[in-house]
Chains A and B, each alone.
Chain A
Amino acid sequence: MWKRYSSGWVLRGVSLEVRDTVVIYGANGSGKTTLVKILAGLVPPTRGEVRRPGRIGVALQHPMMHPDLTVEENLKFYAGALKADYREVVELFGLEKYLHAKFSHLSYGWRRRADLARALLGGPEALLLDEPMLGLDTEGRHAVAEIVRRFKGPAVITASSMCDYVEVGAGAWFELREGRLHPTVPTCGPT
């Protein structure tokens, strides 16, 4: 895949086959979010193609839950569209006490959790998570790591800090640098 914006090339020939969990590490502005958006089908690549499995659970850095609706209203809407039951993910992320709270009234960490719950609605076949641990407390990071470890299927996770993601037990690590993926190993011990 290649991607060019008006400012120049962001991705310069990224090739990736994902079978289990892959963590893509990169500095700010390295193109991680662009890569995730292309994989999700939200942004077209300038050149190249993406072959996707059935339904993908996607969580970007900006939550996709509407701030003017409650957590339950948001989850109900997406669950209805996907013909899924939202109560499972509510339990999984411990969202019971925030169900009736307006999404915009939650703290950043709880907004991320609720949005991750949305991404997991209906049991997606693959996961795309853009820095899912950003802004989460220790408990939240453990919960995300546990969910990714349990997930049976391909998952792509981006990270700007390696330490937070060692716990997810990824099968492969790459560094996104100068628009290309370079195999790497995490340089931080388990947290």
Chain B
Amino acid sequence: MRELKLLARSWETLASTLLIATAFGFVFGRNYAAGLVAVNFVVAALYGYVQVLREEELGTLDGLRLLRQPEKVVAAKFLALFSASLAASLFYSAIYYAVSMRVPELWLLLPTSAYFAAASTASALLSTAARSAVTTSMTLTAALVLGYSVSFAAGRIDPATLAMPLTALLALLALSRALVQ
């Protein structure tokens, strides 16, 4: 709940998300999947900053560390990012439909949003655990989503790719003690 409230209070990020999703809806009017990946990449990076990196800068992540509940913290961060990615994807899909009058491939929404949210949460937490800069998080996110994006571009979403979000989330929870404490 705390994480969702934080997302809602960051109106600049919300405005950026809506603008980006709208822009991509126009730009990718011919290729739904490409636009979906692009929207999720930008949104995951933006909200990864709000949810984790800004909290580290403010010092408020220390408060969460002191609770000694790393799995809960990581799960809450992931869920908040997933919600934001999914909402942005839905908004993008609506714009895409309005512009192209083609029905979007809505089955792609859940795995894409889940994967990008997991990748962004993992990158942000890894860079805070390593006490490195925001740019490290961005580099890690870019590296983590590369495989997924290539798979999309090649036009084949195989079972291994679809299993990635769940695998990434499980890895994240397994690493949570090292990442948040």
Contacts and interface: CB of A to CB of B under 8 A. Distances in A.
A169 B65 CA distance: 30
Contacts of B1: 77
Contacts of A60: 59, 62
* Size category, A interface: 20 to 34
A111 to B, nearest CB: 12
A67 interface: yes
A58 B66 contact: yes
Given A42-B65, A64-B66, A69 B9 contact: yes
Given A69-B9, A73-B5, A64 B67 contact: no
Interface string B6-40: 10011000000000000000000000000000000
B2 A77 contact: yes
B151 interface: no
Q: Helix, strand, loop or mixed for chain B's interface?
A: helix
Interface string B37-68: 00000000000000000010011101101110
B69 interface: yes
Given A41-B181, A73-B2, A73-B5, A66 B66 contact: no
A68 B6 contact: yes
A135 to B, nearest CB: 15
A97 interface: no
A6 B55 CA distance: 24
Interface string B62-92: 1101110100100000000000000000000
Contact of A78 (B6, B62, B63): B63
B59 A63 contact: yes
* Size category, B interface: 10 to 19
B76 to A, nearest CB: 10
Nearest to B55: A66
B66 A40 contact: yes
B60 A66 contact: yes
Q: Helix, strand, loop or mixed for chain A's interface?
A: loop
Interface string A47-80: 0000000001010101111111100010001100
A66 B67 contact: no
B63 A65 contact: yes
A82 B65 contact: no
A60 B67 CA distance: 15
Contacts of B55: 66
A18 B134 CA distance: 38
A69 B6 contact: yes
Interface in A60-116: 60, 62-69, 73, 77-78, 81-82
A66 B59 CA distance: 9
A118 B6 contact: no
A47 to B, nearest CB: 19
Nearest to B7: A68
Nearest to A66: B60
A169 B29 CA distance: 71
Contact of A67 (B58, B62, B181): B58
B63 to A, nearest CB: 3
A81 B58 contact: no
Interface in B144-181: 181
9 contacts: A40-B66, A41-B65, A41-B66, A56-B66, A65-B60, A65-B63, A66-B2, A66-B6, A68-B9
